[in-house]
A and B are shown apart, each in its own frame.
Chain A
Amino acid sequence: MKLTLWTYEGPPHVGAMRVATGMKGLHYVLHAPQGDTYADLLFTMIERRNHRPPVTFTTFQARDLGADTANLFKDSARDAYARFQPQAMIVGASCTAELIQDDPGGLAEALGLPIPVIPLELPSYQRKENFGADETFFQIVKALAKPMPRTEAITCNILGATALGFRHRDDVAEVTKLLGLMGIAVNVAAPMGATPADIARMGQAHFNVLLYPETGETAARHLERACGQPYTKVVPIGVGATRDFLHEVSGITGLSPKVDESGLRLPWWSASVDSTYLTGKRVYIFGDATHVMAAARIAATEIGFEVCGMGCFNREFARPLRAAAKAYGVDPLITDDYLEVEAEIARLQPELILGTQMERHIGKRLGIPCAVISSPVHVQDFPARYSPQMGFEGANVIFDTWIHPLVMGLEEHLLTMFREDFEFHDEAGASHHGAKATARVEAEELGVSHPQTPVGYLRTDEDTDETREIPVVTPAGEVLWLPDAERELKKIPFFVRGKAKRNTEKYAADRGVTKISVDTLYEAKAHYAR
C-alpha cells in the first residue's frame, strides 16, 4: 500500500484509452465498474476532443457481481460491434475487473466477431499509464502489421503519438515536415491518426521514427524484429538533437542531412545580448525521462542555464536518466511521489522549474516560475496555436515558453535598483504577466519546518501580508537571522531571495555561525558570487 495525493500517471487502462482515442476505426471494450467512465473527460475536457473516446465500459455494479458479469461483458462487446462497426477491437479489464477474473479476451473470442479482436493484459496493480499505452500499441501492431514489400520511394512510419500526449499533434506535423525536407514521405503515423487498416500496411515503410519511447518503444522493437525496420533512437527535441536526428536518419537512408534551417531562431535568440540575464540561471527539470533529458541538453547547451537538479517519474527509464544526470553533475530523483519532488525543489531553490502540471503547482506554492515540458498536463497545455516541441520550430517554441515565466532581463535590473518604488516593487511580479503573481510565504521561510519533512504536510500559512513581522528564530536550533539581516534579505528581489537565503544559511552552517548578520549575508554573497 502506498499513500498517494496526486499521481503523475494514471492506471494502465488509461494508457490503452490514449491509444484507442488517438486512433480511428478501433473500439475498446473495457470491463470496468461505473465511475471508471471519468476517464472520458480527460479527452473531452482536458484535450477538448469533440468526440467521445471510442470506449464501451461495461459499468458493472455490485448486484451484477453475484450474477453474471461475464455475460454483461459479452453483451457489451456485441452491442459495441453492432453500433460502432469498428475495423478492429481491443478488449481488456480495469483494476476492479482484473480482480473478478472474467477473461475479456476469451469471452470476446467466443463471440466470433468478424473483425480482429485483440486482448490486452494490463496488470493494474503493478504498472501504470505509459506502460498501458506502450503495451496496447505493441499488441495492436503485433496483431495487424506483417512484413510486406517496401514502398518504392523511401518512406517511414512515425511511432508513439497518442491522444492526451504533450504536443503530440504538432510534433507529428513538425517531424513530418522535417522528414519531407530530406525527401522522405510518411507511410503511417501511429497510433494517433491511424486506423487498423493503416497499421496493417506499416510493414511497407523502410524504417521507423520513434518519437516517444515511453509509448512506442516496444512496438518499434517488434517491427525491427518482425519487419526488419530499423528505428531512430534520437528524439528531435532541441537544436542539437534535431541535427543529430537528421544525421541518424541520413545514416539509415543515405539521404543528405542538410536541410533548410532558415526558420530556426533559438540560437540567435540565445546569443543576442538580451539573453545575458539567462546565463547561469539555475533550473530544475522533472517530468517523463525523454522530455527531461532533452530539456537538460537544451538548458545547458542551447540557452546557457545551469541544471541544478533533474528527475523523472517513470522508473522504466531510470537508467538513461541517471546517466544524463551524471553528465550534468547532479543527483537524479526517480520518484512518482510529488511530495518528494516538492521537497527537492524547496531544497534546491532553483530560479526556474521545467516540469509537468504538478511542478507548475509546486512552483506556484514556492513562488518559483515554471514552464511545462512534459505530461501530465492540463487544459491550458493543449493550445489552439501550432506549438510543437520537436524540430526547429519546436526549438523556437521552447525558447519562448521557457523564457516567458521569467522576469525580463532589463526589468530584473530595474527591480534590483528601484525595489522600494511603490508602483514598481518586486512583489508585483513580472510586468508582462497580467495578474499579480505573488509568492506564498512558505512554512519553511517562516522557520517552522524541519528539513526532512515534506513541505506539503506542514503548510499552515497562506498569509502574504507585507507588514507582518517575520519570526527571526529558527526552532530547529540551526541558524538565527538577526532582525537587520532579515530586513536586508527582504530587500533582495523575490526571484533570487530564496537562493540568497539558502546560500547564506549554508554558508553560516558550514562555518558554525549561529547568528546571521548583514555581514554574514554579504560574505555569503561574495562567497557564492559567480
Chain B
Amino acid sequence: MSLDLPSTGCRSTPVLKERGQREVFCGLTGIIWLHRKMQDAFFLVVGSRTCAHLLQAAAGVMIFAEPRFGTAILEEKDLAGLADANAELDREVARLLARRPDIKQLFLVGSCPSEVIKLDLARAAERLSSVHAPHVRVYNYSGSGIETTFTQGEDACLAAMVPTLPASTARELLIVGAMPDVVEDQCLALLAALGIGPVRMLPARRAGDLPAVGANTVFALVQPFLGDTHAALTRRGARHLPAPFPFGEEGTTAWLRAIADEFGVSRDLFEQVTAAPRARAQKAIATQSQELQGKSVFFFPDSQLEIPLARFLTRECGMTAIEVGTPYLHEGLVGPDLDLLPKGPVISEGQDVDKQLDRQRAARPDLTVCGLGLANPLEAEGFSTKWAIELVFTPVHFYEQAGDLAGLFSRPLRRRALLRKEAAE
C-alpha cells in the first residue's frame, strides 16, 4: 500500500484474493427474480437436470408459483450430435411459444454443460429470432457457474439486451437494475419530484417499454453487480453517474444527489424533496438498528451487495465490519462506497470457504452474513446469521425501505436474545 495515497476509506485497502472452494450460487439464480420482473419474458435454461434442480431449490425455499422459466434438459443424444441438439432446441422453443402466446421476450440461458459442449446459443438466438419475429425477440446470455456467480446472472441478462436497444439522441436518465415494483415506483416518484425526466428503466416490466439509448443518455445503477451492463451501455455512448448505492438514508441521498447535480437541480428543491423521507428513514433506522449498535459483522461473499451494505451497517447502524467478502470487486462501481467505508475490515474477493470459516470462527463476529448452505450450521455453532439471499429478494433500496434493511440484520440478534430468555426460565 502506497503511503502517499490520501486516506479514502477502504478504497486503498489491499484486497485479500482467494481461489478455492466457493459456496455460492451460479448466475442462473437471477432468473428467480428476473422472470417476475419482466412479465412477458420466458427464461429457457439449456442445461442439465442439475440446473432445473438448482432453480427449483433456490426458488422453492421462497415460493412455488407457476414459473415463466424452464429447463431444456440435455440428454445423452444431445451430447452425441450438436446438429441434433439445435434441432431439438428449435422444436422445444416452438412448442413453448405456441403454448405461451403471451411471451414477447425469450431468453436462452446458457449453463455449465451447454458452455462446455460449446452449444452456440448466440446463433440459436439469432436463428430463432428470425423465425419468431416480430412477435418474439430471442436473446441469449450465460448464467453458467463456470462464468457467473449468483447476481452476475442479472448482469449478463441486461448486458445481452443493451446491444438490441433502439438508438436515441434524447437526453434521458436510465435507471439500471431490477427492483421490486414498489421500490421502482418510489424511485420514480422521487425523481419526478426533483423535476428529473424522462426516466427510463432497464429491465422494463414489458418488452414494449424497453428504453432507447445513445450519447445523451446518462445512467445510474441501483445494483452494484452490473459491471458488464455498465460496459455495454458505455459502448453505446451512455455515461455512468458514479455514486454510492441507494441503501440506507445516506446512500439514497448520495445516489439522488449525483443525479440531481447532473440535471442541475437546485439545493433548495433537493432539500425540499428529500427532507421528509430522510427524516423518516433516519427514524426508522434508529429504531431498527438498536440491537446492531456496537456489534461486529462478517460478510461471506454472495450477492456483490456486500460492500454497499457494509457501508450502511457501519455508518448508519453503528456496526464494525471484520471482513467484507465479495465474489468480485468492481472498483469502478463500488469505489464511492469503498471511500465511505471506514478503514479496518479485511476486504476479500473470491473464496476458499473452509479457510474463510476458520477466519470467521476465530473472529467470533456478532453477526455473520452468509449463504443458505452455511447459515444453519453456523447458527448451530452459536453464531447469529443473516442469510444473504434475502437481501436480494426483499425490497431494501431507497428511503422507505432503509428501516426494513436494518431490520433484516437486527432480527437474528433479536431472536437470539428472545430465545435465550425463554431458555433461562
Contact = CB atoms under 8 A, between A and B. Distances in A.
Interface string B111-133: 01101110000000000000000
Contacts of A34: 22, 24, 26, 145-146, 149
A38 interface: yes
A351 to B, nearest CB: 23
Interface string B17-52: 000111111111100000000000000101011101
Nearest to A123: B76
B354 A83 contact: yes
Interface stretch (B5-13, B234-242, B315-323, B374-382): B374-382
A428 B72 CA distance: 40
B371 interface: yes
A499 to B, nearest CB: 24
B377 A76 contact: no
B79 interface: yes
A476 B73 CA distance: 33
A37 interface: yes
B96 interface: yes
Interface in B131-157: 144-147, 149
A50 B144 contact: no
B300 to A, nearest CB: 12
A1 B44 CA distance: 12
Given A44-B377, A45-B61, A94 B50 contact: yes
Contact of A99 (B24, B79, B375): B79
Interface in B61-85: 61, 64, 66-67, 69-76, 78-79, 85
Interface residues of A, number: 63
A37 B22 CA distance: 8
A35 B74 CA distance: 18
Interface string A52-74: 10001111111011000000000
Interface in A80-105: 83, 94-96, 99-100
A76 B353 CA distance: 12
Contacts of A79: 354
A453 B374 contact: no
A35 B72 contact: no
Contact of B377 (A52, A123, A454): A52
Contact of B146 (A5, A40, A61): A61
B141 to A, nearest CB: 14
Contact of B374 (A7, A52, A62, A457): A52
Contact of A61 (B56, B78, B147, B377): B147
Given A42-B57, A49-B377, A124 B70 contact: no
B22 A4 contact: no
A44 B376 contact: yes
Given A44-B374, A46-B61, A11 B145 contact: no
A378 B64 CA distance: 11
A262 interface: no
B376 A62 contact: no
B372 A45 contact: yes
Given A96-B116, A125-B79, A37 B49 contact: no
A11 B380 contact: no
Q: A-side binding surface: helix, strand, loop or mixed?
A: mixed
A35 B85 contact: no
B100 interface: yes
B113 A95 contact: yes
Contacts of A41: 57-58, 61, 371-373
B371 A100 contact: no
B376 A49 contact: yes
Given A51-B377, A124-B48, A3 B57 contact: no
Given A3-B92, A44-B376, A50-B380, A33 B79 contact: no
A56 B21 contact: yes
Contacts of A35: 24-28, 54, 112, 144-145, 149
Contact of B49 (A10, A45, A453): A10
A519 B337 CA distance: 73
Contacts of A39: 53, 57
B99 interface: yes
B117 A3 contact: no
Contacts of A42: 57
A458 B100 CA distance: 8
B70 A4 contact: yes
Contacts of B354: 79, 83
A453 to B, nearest CB: 7
B58 A38 contact: yes
A50 B377 contact: yes
B376 A48 contact: yes
Given A33-B146, A40-B23, A126-B76, A3 B49 contact: no
Contacts of A59: 20-22, 145
B421 interface: no
A285 interface: no
B116 A99 contact: yes
B202 interface: no
Interface string A14-54: 10000000000000000001111111111011101111100
A233 to B, nearest CB: 30
Interface string B352-396: 001000000000000000011111110110000000000000000
B324 interface: no
Given A10-B50, A65-B116, A33 B144 contact: yes
B376 A456 contact: no
A10 B51 CA distance: 9
Contact of A378 (B20, B27, B60, B145): B60
A51 B379 CA distance: 10
B114 to A, nearest CB: 10
Given A44-B374, A65-B146, 11 more contacts: A3-B96, A6-B56, A35-B26, A41-B61, A51-B377, A96-B48, A123-B76, A124-B49, A126-B76, A454-B99, A459-B66
**CB-CB nearest 10 A-B residue pairs:** A35-B26, A35-B145, A40-B373, A50-B380, A96-B112, A1-B88, A41-B372, A33-B145, A95-B48, A10-B53
Interface of B: 20-29, 44, 46, 48-50, 52-54, 56-58, 60-61, 64, 66-67, 69-76, 78-79, 85, 88-89, 91-92, 95-96, 99-100, 112-113, 115-117, 144-147, 149, 354, 371-377, 379-380
Interface of A: 1-7, 9-11, 13-14, 33-42, 44-46, 48-52, 56-62, 64-65, 76, 79, 83, 94-96, 99-100, 123-126, 128, 357, 361, 365, 378-379, 453-454, 456-459
8 contacts: A6-B64, A34-B26, A38-B25, A38-B29, A38-B57, A52-B377, A59-B22, A125-B78
